[in-house]
Amino acid sequence: MSKAVLIDTTKCIGCRACQVACKSWNDLKGKKATFSETWSNPRFLSSYDYNRIIFREISHPDGRLDWYFIARRCLHCHDPACASACPVGALVKMPEGPVVYDDVKCIGCRYCMMACPFQIPKFEWESAVPLIRKCTFCADRLAEGLTPSCVATCPTGTLLFGERPALLKEAHRRIGAAPQRYYPQVYGEKTAGGTSSLYLTAVSFEELGLNHRGFRTDLGDVPQGLYGREWMSKVPYVGVAVGALAVGLHYFHQRRAEVQAEERKED
Q: What angle do CA 40, 4, 149 make, to 5 degrees?
A: 55
14 lies in the binding site for ligand SF4 (CB under 6 A): yes
d(CA 132, CA 82): 11
198 lies in the binding site for ligand SF4 (CB under 6 A): no
Nearer to ligand SF4, 163 or 258 (CB): 163
Q: From the list ligand SF4, another protein, none, which binds 262 (C-beta under 5 to 8 Å, kind-based)? A: none
In contact, 22 and 149? CB cutoff 8 Å: yes
262 lies in the binding site for another protein (CB under 8 A): no
Residues with Cβ within 8 Å of residue 197, at least 6 apart in sequence: 4, 5, 7, 73, 74, 75, 76, 188
Among residue numbers 32 through 71, which ones bind another protein (CB under 8 A)?
Answer: 32-35, 37, 39, 41-46, 57, 59, 65-69
Among residue numbers 191 through 210, which ones bind another protein (CB under 8 A)?
Answer: none
# residues near another protein by CB under 8 A: 93
200 lies in the binding site for ligand SF4 (CB under 6 A): no
d(CA 46, CA 26): 13
- Cα 115 to Cα 91, 106, 158: the distances in Å are 12, 15, 29
Q: Which stretch binds another protein (CB under 8 A): 7-15, 143-151, 160-168, 193-201?
A: 7-15
Q: Which stretch binds another protein (CB under 8 A): 9-17, 93-101, 136-144, 164-172?
A: 9-17
- Cα 126 to Cα 122, 131, 143, 238: the distances in Å are 12, 10, 30, 41
Beta bridge partners of residue 202, listed in sequence order = none
Residue type, 220: G
257 lies in the binding site for another protein (CB under 8 A): yes
Among residue numbers 26 through 45, which ones bind ligand SF4 (CB under 6 A)?
Answer: 26
Binding site for ligand SF4 (CB under 6 A): 12-18, 21-22, 25-26, 50-51, 53, 69, 71, 73-77, 80-82, 85-88, 90-91, 99, 106-112, 116, 118, 120-121, 132, 134-138, 148-150, 153-156, 158-159, 224
